Amino acid sequence: MSPTAKKLATYEDLYKIPENTIGEIIAGELHVSPRPAPKHSKVSSTLGMRVGSPFQFGESGGPGGWIILDEPELHLEGQVFVSDLASWKKERLSAAPEGNGITVVPNWICEILSPSTLRLDRVIKMPLYGSFGVSHLWLIDPIAKTLEVFKLENSKWTLLGSYADDAKVRAEPFEVIELSLKELWWE
């Protein structure tokens, strides 16, 4: 007897998950995660403001020219991802996408790790982001108070730096600003 074939998840399955969760479809499998905890949300909100002001709006001497979104729904090669933050240079995403999903690969993705998403973010999503051609990836752990900065080089992730606690960081692709990690953590 042949083993029972596993049913592949569809976009319709996302409408069936509880409202207080986030759903993603990766390699045909539905992944459901709880909404972010307050420490996670503080990192995301603060980072969005600190990077968004100079890079999206050109404030504080920043270059502008970027689109930065919280929790965008990315539709990449038939899969549905919800990264914590993602950013595109405006020339790559010049018009607002129609519908829920964005099909243009981001220039930068930031995943904020939590105990419930750590394996998904590191083991499953990180290699896929690289295969899609995302050029920069940040992994932030609000519990360990760490930031890891990666750059895609020759189709592989290269760790550019690991930072912790109250370090002051200039990290690609936003190295023109200094980011104080202490601002991200809930003290």
- pTM, two decimals, is 0.93
Beta strands in the chain (DSSP E): 21-26, 29-34, 66-70, 73-76, 79-82, 85-89, 101-102, 108-112, 136-141, 146-153, 156-164, 168-169, 179-180
Q: How confident is the model at residue 187 (pLDDT cuts 50, 70, 90)?
A: confident
Is residue 131, in this structure, part of any structural domain at all? yes
Is residue 2, in this structure, part of any structural domain at all? no
Q: Taking residues 92-109, what's their average pLDDT? A: 93
Helix or strand or coil: residue 157?
strand
Q: Looking at the 3D structure of the chain, how many domains does it have?
A: 1
Query: CATH number of the domain that 174 lies in?
Result: 3.90.1570.10
Is residue 125, in this structure, part of any structural domain at all? yes
Q: Residue 2 above 60 pLDDT?
A: no
Is residue 16, in this structure, part of any structural domain at all? yes
- How far apart CA 88 and CA 134 sit, in angstroms, is 10
Domain that holds residue 113: 11-183
The pLDDT tens digits for 46-95 are 999 999 999 998 888 889 999 999 999 999 999 999 999 999 999 999 88
Picking from 14, 18, 15, the residue whose alpha carbon sits closest to that of residue 30 is 14
